[in-house]
Structure formats: C-alpha cells, structure tokens
Structure 1
Amino acid sequence: MTDAASPRQTSLIDAPTLRTLLAAQPAPLVIDVRFDLSNTDLGESQHAAGHIPGAHYLHLDRDLSGPRQQGDQFFGRHPLPDRDRFAALMRRLGLQPGQQVVAYDAADGMYAARLWWMLRWLGHDAVAVLDGGFAAWQAAGGAISTQAPTIPQPGTFEAGSALEQPWSKQDLLAQLGRVRLVDARAGERFRGEVEPLDRQAGHIPGASHRFFKTNLGADGRFRPAAELKAEFEQLLGEFSASDTVHQCGSGVTACHNLLAMHHAGLPGSRLYPGSWSEWSADPRMPLARG
C-alpha cells in the first residue's frame, strides 16, 4: 500500500520498487530478519552468506523480543522488548524520522511482519514488508552482497504515538467473547492435536482460526487485497477490525494476519504478543480443544 499523499510504502513493497528506491536518495533502511525457530543461528548465517546490499540484520530472539521471564511471571516465547530500548536500537541503525524502512525474511513474511508491526508500534508508518522476501529479490535479479553494512551515524528517530496497540493477557481475559480473537497457528496446533513448542495443546476459548499462510498465493506472495478483504470480513462477521485481536504461538505469525488486514484496507486490529505460549503456561487460564 502506498500513501496517496506521499511515496511512503506502508504495507507491502515488491522487489522492482525496492530496487528503484535503493538507487535514489535518501535510500530506505533495509532490515534482514531471516530466522528459523528450530535453528536460531540460521538467519544470521544466511545474512552473512548473502543479503540485499546495505541491509542490517536483526535477530528475532535478541533484537525483536524482550526477556521471557521476570521472577515467576512468564511472558511467552517472544514478548515485546522495552519500547524505548527498541527505539534506541533503530536509531543506532541510522533511522531518521519519516525514513522508509523495508523488512524482509526468507520468503513468506512471517518474521518481516513482526518488524513491520513493531515499527508501527513505535509510531513509524513508513515501513513495508518485501513481498516474497529474499527469494523474490533473487528471482527479480536483485544484487546480493556479502559485505557487512556500514555502521551509520545514529539517527534522530524518536518513538511517537503508537499506530498499533498490544494487548496483555489480562486485557484479553477481560474481553473474551466481546472481541473477535484470531489464531494464526497451523490447524493441528489450533485444534490441540499436536503442540511442539508450548506447555499445553489447544487454543484460547472463542478463538477463530486463520492460518497465516492462507494470506499467500502459490507464488509465496500476498494475495490480492480484495480477496483478503472479503475473507477477513467473512471471518470477522459482525465484529469490526478495531474489535479484533490477533494471536498465534508467540506473537510473531499473528503479525502476518495484521499485515494482511492492513494490506486489505482493514486497519485497526490489535496484537496479543504473549499469545498461546503465555496463555497456556498459566494454569488459571481457560483453554479449548477441537
């Protein structure tokens, strides 16, 4: 989506458009967030082996997440980091107010969508996900570099009013049944048939299911906005986007559904970052299966 009043890219960007932006000034800040939950060093290794020229690497566990545990309280596998600390990290990468940011991962956008959401959480709307990720960049003949990016002069970006709102476990518990809760996990995990990562199998009572990969076409890129809008409107039923909360296993793939809704012209839904990993770890929380 391109803002009608400016060249800002605010949801998705394709590889040819990114190539054009990289040849212009000021150039966008490009962030590589490739990652693998089963091999947490893989994304960084992939970045070292070849990345979009000038791209910086951010690690899901180290950079896009905060501490999992404080005392006896568990906040899920990928809780949000401190907002001010994350803003400071983006300044160290050179981020300037209003500068275009482009996030990419290996292909499907699940990790790039997390960074997209987090920057909007900081109040920065000029951020887009590279549709199709690094695979699409390669397919389009984009240049690849193994050179470490130059450490820039610190930027002057400061966090502003949040454009995306997180919900806590307590927020969600208080509103169960009064919001449309959308679970982005695979169907077998939602139904409670398997649980490879978290403490219990199942889902939050009342949740609807939309596997995040439903947003993608056969080519691994996001499907047309009109198709996504029709499907999300059917899923939400009588609920509006602003009455919708997204969750998944740990607050990562849920951002993919948020991005898809934004791309489809349905902004305003919210994220439960703790998601099933936090919810299922608390024996006081209700759960459902099937």
Structure 2
Amino acid sequence: MEPVQAIVLGPAEWAARRDAHDVRVAGWVEPHLERAVRREKHPVLDFLFTYYNHSPGALRRWHPGAGVVLAGDPPHRRWSGYVEVEDGVTADPALSGTRARIARDTLALLEATAARRPVFGCHGMHEWAMVYRLSPEQVRHSAVPLRLPSAEVDAVVESAPLRCTHFDAFRFFTDPARPLNLLTPTRGAMPDLEQGGCLHTNMDLYKHAYRLSPLVPSELVADCFALAREIRAVDMRASPYDLADLGYPPIPIETVEGRREYVEHQRDFADRAAVLRGRLIGTIRPVVDALRPAGTAAR
C-alpha cells in the first residue's frame, strides 16, 4: 500500500542522492577494504566494520527511507524490502515478527535515552577495565602497546569506582574488574540505564539506524556512522593503548587535565547525538505507530 503523503523522487533526483551517498561512504569503505586485502588491521578505523553487523557493501547501498517513492526504474525495484506502488517503488512499511519487535524495542530504547539526563563521570574507564589485571599479550589489541605498565594501568582502574552504564562495554570487562563497577548492566536493563553521555551509547545510534534499513534513509545512517567514527577515535585516545604512531595522541584520563578534556568531548558528542537520536525517533515512530492495532493510542 502506498504511504500517506509520500514524497515522489524522479530519476534525476534519486540518482543524485544515490551518487552523493556513494561518494561520501566510499571515503570510509574503500580504505577499509584495501587494508583487508593487505591483511592490515586498524584498531580505530576498522572498528565500525568489525564490531557492528553491517557490511561495507550494505553501508554503501543507498535507501531513500520510509515514505519516499522512487519513480522510473530504480534498482530498488529488485531489492527485498521494497514494494511497487502507483508512482514507482518504495520501502515496504509493513513489518512483522522479528523486524516489528526490533522497531518497537529500538524506539523504546531511543525515547528512554532521550528522556534521561546525560552523565559525564565515567571518564572513559571502560577500556581500562577491559585490560585490568591482564598481561600485555592477553589484551584485545595485543598488537598495540599500552601507554603505561600493566601495574600502573591496574592502579588507575583501582583509583576510583567504575561508573559504566553500557552493557555492551561492561560485558567486555575482565572478571576482576566487574565487581569494581557501581552498576551491573544487563541487556534487559538497557532502557533503564542508557544515557546520552556514554560514548558507546552514542556510537550505537549507527546500529539502530542500519538495523531498520531500508526504512531509515541512508543519509541518516551515514550521519550516525560519521559521528560514531569520531567517537571511536576519542574512545581509543582515552584508552590505555598507545596510538600516537597512528596519529591519535592520548587523552590521559589518569590526570585531571585528561579527564577534563574527555568530558569536553563527551558533552560535544552528547549534544550531536541528541540531534541524531531525535531524527531516528522521528523516522521510526510512524513505522511503529502503524504496527499498533486500530484504536490503540500512540504514546
């Protein structure tokens, strides 16, 4: 069924948007693929391609988003997730099963996070907790040296309570580090704990965007990717790893000055992520509202 008040894009319009997206994303995708051919790994630039389940090819594929009809003969006509309508082809807004659950859960999580005041007191200690009491050869990025001896890294972790609110960071803490955290995040508790000051929460906007493709416009997916890319750089600069040779000077969160710098980045990312979160909510809410049985009031 054709969306209400659908926007119709002619062939020249949608081709221009598709091409602009491809040029933008190619700057991220192609270097990653070139490193893969050379069997090189980059702890910052490759993270979004390896941690998140969205392939470079999928990121490069352009979708106009829900409520947009592509006229003419776009390749989307032959893609799954699209349906033909009177004026062309559009992303199918009908969701069921797992896809419907993901849409509902994502909207609930985004709205809960948006309603919660950001917290800026963790100082990026999650990466330190992931190497706590490990020998250098045991750490996740063993090819990258630590900035401090292991004993000093452990002392930094022990110097103050850990305040991580994000389950997907907490689950990588070493066993001895978990009891040092003030909270015990679980996946089920994410709607109660996620908050906009968390770097990983804001990186996850990329995941929330691509998981609902093709209903989320690719420009918004790319905007989330771009922010996540910046956040990952700060995340690793504040870590105990020494990435200076790769062009990432440390943010020494073991010092007062370093913690102050980290919080400045947190606040900037929180503000920018709030805008993207609002755009995602505005995109997903009509899709979820359409899933509700007739007569059910929207929240």
Q: Same fold (TM over 0.5)?
A: no
Higher helix share: 2
Give the TM-score normalised by the residue count of structure 1: 0.25
